[in-house]
Amino acid sequence: MKLFLPEGQQLFTREEVGQYVGDVAAQAYRQGFAEAVATIGRGEPPRHMH
């Protein structure tokens, strides 16, 4: 995902963006991991193994 902003306009600092992206990635990772564990627990093959 890329954010395209008009030149000279900065909505977030690099630290804010990094923190936000890190939070989203961690949340998605935890959710995906929990789903995979639940799926394996039911004896089904995981849907998406990258």
Q: Do residues 48 and 40 lie in contact, with contact meaning Cβ atoms separated by under 8 Å? A: no
Per-residue pLDDT at 42: 83
Which pLDDT tens digits describe the chain residue by residue (50 residues)?
Answer: 566 656 666 667 888 888 988 999 999 999 988 888 888 888 876 666 55
Per-residue pLDDT at 5: 57
pTM of the model: 0.46
30 burial (CB, 10 Å; 0-12 / 13-18 / 19+) is exposed
